[in-house]
Amino acid sequence: MFELKDFPEELRDKSNHALLNGLMRGVEREALRVNGRAELSQSPHPSGLGSALCHPLITTDFSEALLEFITPPSHRRDELLEKLGQIQCFTSSQLNDELLWAMSMPCILPGEQHIPVARYGDSHNGQMKTIYRLGLGQRYGRSMQTVAGLHYNFSLPPAFWAHFHHKENSLETLDRYRNQRYFSLIRNFRRHYWLLVLLFGASPAMDKSFVNGRKHTLEQSDDGQSLYLPWATSLRMGDLGYQSSAQDELFVCYNQKNTYIQTLAKAILENHPAYENLPLKDQQGHYQQLSRGLLQIENEFYSSIRPKRSARPGETALTALHRRGVEYIEVRCLDVDPFEALGITAGQSAFIDCFLLWCALAPSPESNMEETALIAHNHRLVINEGRRPGVKLKHLEHGDLALKDWADALVEAMQPIASMLDQANDTREHSAALSQQQKVLNNLELSPSARLLKKMEKQSFVDVGLEQSRHNQLELQKRSVCEGQAQRFNDMAEKSHSAQQKLEHASAGEFDEFLKRYYKQYKKLLA
């Protein structure tokens, strides 16, 4: 049903292996800092980790306590995971009595006012990052911003796109063709990413402090502290996690690069009724949000996948995408694997590569609002009830499909991709990864979400999280960053502090003017 009818057999040829073993991948993993009682850290970002604004590998997300680890992109999976291990190992060595929280759903949270927002110093760029987070806290609540995820960055080499551009005798420029094909990948991803949520979702439960004062339909465990849904996969991706009811009305078109950019730019520039009553500044004149738009900046759009282009200093992400096109895609629907110290396994990475390459090669018709509604329906169903026997999803052409049948068909369709990647990389890891996930599909009790709920039959969510966090810390310590690597991380920390100081000295003029110049870029995108 989902097989590639025109499979590119030429990619099996040894002379074309570089088109496949040249793909790039990177990881951004988030983790909360917690104390030994599984409470959110109230301490500042550790100085030994450098400047959160300027360090290339270690930063923070919403909260001062929410660390983010960023690997450089790599052609080699073993190198990627080794680098991720080094970053986390060094970080762990700088935390004193604190731990890296193993879960995507947060630890025991204090009241909203005691969840510290990340601080980035006094430069214009640093102020903007902090104000953006203050705005997120106003709009969605600070507790929602303590949820941790894992982002997977992926790109195919220029020669890959050049090969298919030539093969298809495309009349488009190579750059335009590449953009179109990346958006085709994105559309296929959105149709089928429920499979990743089903297999790798690891947030079916949470501590009740996360929903304090909010309505929910979760069930309560016998311990009285934990909340869960019995068939859930990734509550992080649902209404209580990184989603926004205000954004439900935003229809983002993924059929063309320009329609995508213009939709988001318009959402940034036009005031939104839900946020017009929120203060832009407090009584002392300090900003509390960057704007009153539906989105303050493009990062506020909570999507499962993003087209990305590295931005230059002072450049918005959408401006960079408009000027130079798609550089890579960022997968954002992945939970942190609590049973793996790094938050991701080599097998998971290999499976995702197969899935993304299938999305890139399979036919991908343009989408519409009807299909977008079906995608949202399937998404919610798999999040809340994905492991329930007999679940059926909705397909635009085939109508109601049993989740198991659709999932099996997708994995079967990915088999030639796995074989091709194995040949190109002289390995068996891609085929092995598909085989492992087929076993999970045949018995969803093997999935991370089911395994977590199994542990919670005897322990609370927090107790499981604390136990796993301590276990993962010991695993990281076994890696032990060698002396040379530790010195390199120390040097990077010092350089990042110096870089922040230089930015603060160079930030001339009023912040209001800096912000106006920044937002002018969005206006140009609509001109």
CATH of the domain at 250: 3.30.590.20
Residue 1 lies in a domain: no
pLDDT for the residue 3: 74
Task: Provide the 10 A C-beta neighbour count for residue 94.
Answer: 16
pLDDT in tens, the chain (527 residues): 677 777 888 998 999 999 999 999 999 999 999 999 999 999 999 999 999 999 999 999 999 999 999 999 999 999 999 999 999 999 999 998 999 999 999 999 999 999 999 999 999 999 999 999 999 999 999 999 999 999 999 999 999 999 999 999 999 999 999 999 999 999 999 999 999 999 999 999 999 999 998 889 999 999 999 999 999 999 999 988 766 667 777 889 999 999 999 999 999 999 999 898 899 999 999 999 999 999 999 999 999 999 999 999 999 999 999 999 999 999 999 999 999 999 999 999 999 999 999 999 999 999 999 999 999 999 999 999 999 999 999 998 889 999 999 999 999 999 999 999 999 999 999 999 999 999 999 999 999 999 999 999 999 999 999 999 999 999 998 877 766 788 999 999 999 999 999 999 999 999 999 999 999 999 999 98
- Cα gap 74→68, rounded to integer Å: 18
Residue 233 lies in a domain: yes
- Cα gap 505→313, rounded to integer Å: 16
Residue 345 belongs to domain spanning: 9-526
Please identify which residue in the block is written with the tokens 């420029």.
173
pLDDT for the residue 471: 97
List helix spans (H) across 386-507.
Answer: 403-425, 429-442, 448-455, 461-479, 483-506
- Cα gap 285→302, rounded to integer Å: 29
Residue 2 lies in a domain: no
- Cα gap 92→82, rounded to integer Å: 15
Residue 211 lies in a domain: yes
Residue 3 lies in a domain: no
Which H or E run includes 399?
Answer: strand 399-402
Residue 4 lies in a domain: no
Task: Give me the number of domains the chain comprises.
Answer: 1
pLDDT for the residue 242: 62
Residue 125 lies in a domain: yes
Burial letters 125-148, b for 16+ CB under 10 A, else e: bbbbbbbbbbbbbebbbbbbbbbb
Residue 252 lies in a domain: yes
pLDDT for the residue 484: 76
pTM of structure: 0.97
**Cα-Cα-Cα-Cα dihedral sign, residues 380, 383, 387, 393:** positive
Q: Are the beta carbons of 337 and 202 closer than 8 angstroms? A: yes
